[in-house]
Amino acid sequence: MEVEVLKLDNLGRGITYINDKICFIENALPTEIIEIEITKETSKYIEAKVIKYIKKSPLRIEEECPYSNICGGCNLNHMCFNEENKFKLDKVKSIMKKYANIDTNLVEGIIYHDRNNYRNKLTMHGKDNEIGLYKEKSNEIIPIQSCLIVNPKINEIIKLLNNTTKKVNKIIIKTSNDNSKIMLKIDGSIDNIDILKKLCSVLILNDQYILENKTIETNIGNKKYLEGIDSFFQINNTLTKELYDEVLINVKDKKYKTILDLYCGTGTIGIYVSDYVKEVIGIDYNESNIDDANKNKDLNNVNNIRFICDKVENKIDTFNDIDLVIVDPPRAGLDEKTRKYLKEINSKEIIYVSCDPITLARDIKDLDTYKVKYIKVFNMFPRTYHIESLLVLEKKDA
């Protein structure tokens, strides 16, 4: 069947219509004429794959990754980087307008760095003597020799592991932002452990720490952070500083007394802004995150921050006299109770860091006692449809 691609959806899939029913097509760009094969059809939509490109878009580029359309990691390898950034900026504008009626002029622009080698973490899986990534929408393992989006140190570890005899189920590799330190966790058995001991700062085999260190240290701006294997940490090794600097811009010179840092992770943002406020209170339910947050507090000699290990919704109704709330929730966004009590806390501003513009739009629409000051978009996840946004809300009566 021959069709013309009309536009892209929020996941970067091409859209066309067949018998007035919407059809989603992976690896297809607007204006392309393609031959497709339908892979799924429901009462509401159709999914299809490309069989042949009859007319290609000028925005299409040759895919550098040998695992494109096989591994489920990247879905925009075929799109030039300028177009990817435009697509992501337009996506945020469209979602903000459609779901929260936000003026698109308040979306100020997109910030980006490198398309390759930006990730400081990779999770791999193993079977027999092979390691790789999961094939899209399956548990089938695609053996890989390297990955374009991870930093070079991770690729060194992948190469080394591929040249060893092993029987592993899962591998997690993390590095510091400057690539000087490597953390490696292996579930399974492997030879040449002595080589890994020399390369890694932290080495975990079947939940046993082989070396003395249990964390790696990384820098963001003038702050230092310890990171454990199970702790949350932003995966972009260069753009995270720009994101945190944008938070800092909204804290400096405001002379805030108290900041509430919700979903604080390892305390990175709270510590980053702690020099400019009297007190910071961080909340996160993950014990590993809070353990590292307290270590990071001591590492940076910060005395005006404290951390609470609990779910945000369990504590949000206990606060008042808060000047600024910073939220950096998981993809699901804020729960209903948290949205309700954020309005009752009535802070001067809310800084919302979001990895999902749909839930962001839902939440800010509900926070109707606030108005949007501005939104900035950060391409923290190049080659994928994922995007990070930072939004500043201010009280309507301010």
pLDDT 10s digits, 294-351: 999 999 999 999 999 999 999 999 998 999 999 999 999 999 999 999 999 989 999 9
Whole-angstrom CA distances from 226 to 134, 183, 303 are 29, 12, 17
Spatial separation of the C-alpha atoms in residues 18 and 134, rounded to whole Å: 31
Does one domain contain both 105 and 249? yes
Specify the CATH number for the domain of residue 385: 3.40.50.150
Domain count, the chain: 3
Which candidate, 277, 129, 149, places its Cα nearest to that of 189?
A: 129
pLDDT band at residue 398, thresholds of 50, 70 and 90? low
- State pLDDT tens for residues 197-218: 999 999 999 999 999 999 999 9
Residue partners of 216: CB distance under 8 A and separation at least 6: 174, 175, 176, 181, 182, 183, 201, 202, 226, 227
Which candidate, 152, 189, 153, places its Cα nearest to that of 171?
A: 189
Q: Give this prediction's pTM.
A: 0.94
Contact 80, 58 (CB under 8 A): no
- State pLDDT tens for residues 263-292: 999 999 999 999 999 999 999 999 999 999
Whether the per-residue pLDDT at 41 is higher than 80: the answer is yes
Strands (E), 202-284: 202-205, 208-209, 216-220, 223-227, 256-262, 277-284
Q: Is residue 181 part of a domain?
A: yes
Q: Is residue 282 part of a domain?
A: yes
Does one domain contain both 244 and 355? yes
User: What is the CA angle 219-352-75, rounded to 5?
Assistant: 75
* pLDDT, position 11: 95
Does one domain contain both 262 and 377? yes
Which candidate, 17, 4, 75, places its Cα nearest to that of 45?
A: 17
Residue 12 is given by DSSP the state S
Does one domain contain both 327 and 242? yes
- State pLDDT tens for residues 356-367: 999 999 999 999
Instruction: Show the domain range for 21.
Output: 2-60
Which candidate, 303, 337, 342, places its Cα nearest to that of 319?
A: 342
Q: Is residue 148 part of a domain?
A: yes
Does one domain contain both 242 and 137? no
pLDDT band at residue 353, thresholds of 50, 70 and 90? very high
Q: Is residue 75 part of a domain?
A: no
Does one domain contain both 20 and 131? no
* pLDDT, position 71: 86
Spatial separation of the C-alpha atoms in residues 179 and 200, rounded to whole Å: 11
- State pLDDT tens for residues 46-96: 999 999 999 999 999 999 999 988 887 899 999 999 999 999 999 999 999
Does one domain contain both 49 and 137? no
Which candidate, 209, 138, 124, 133, places its Cα nearest to that of 173?
A: 124
Which candidate, 363, 381, 380, places its Cα nearest to that of 372?
A: 363
Strands (E), 155-229: 166-175, 182-190, 202-205, 208-209, 216-220, 223-227
Spatial separation of the C-alpha atoms in residues 74 and 67, rounded to whole Å: 9
Q: Is residue 42 part of a domain?
A: yes
pLDDT band at residue 397, thresholds of 50, 70 and 90? confident
Does one domain contain both 44 and 171? no
Q: Is residue 375 part of a domain?
A: yes
Residue 144 is given by DSSP the state -
Spatial separation of the C-alpha atoms in residues 380 and 115, rounded to whole Å: 9
Spatial separation of the C-alpha atoms in residues 267 and 289, rounded to whole Å: 8
Q: Is residue 225 part of a domain?
A: no
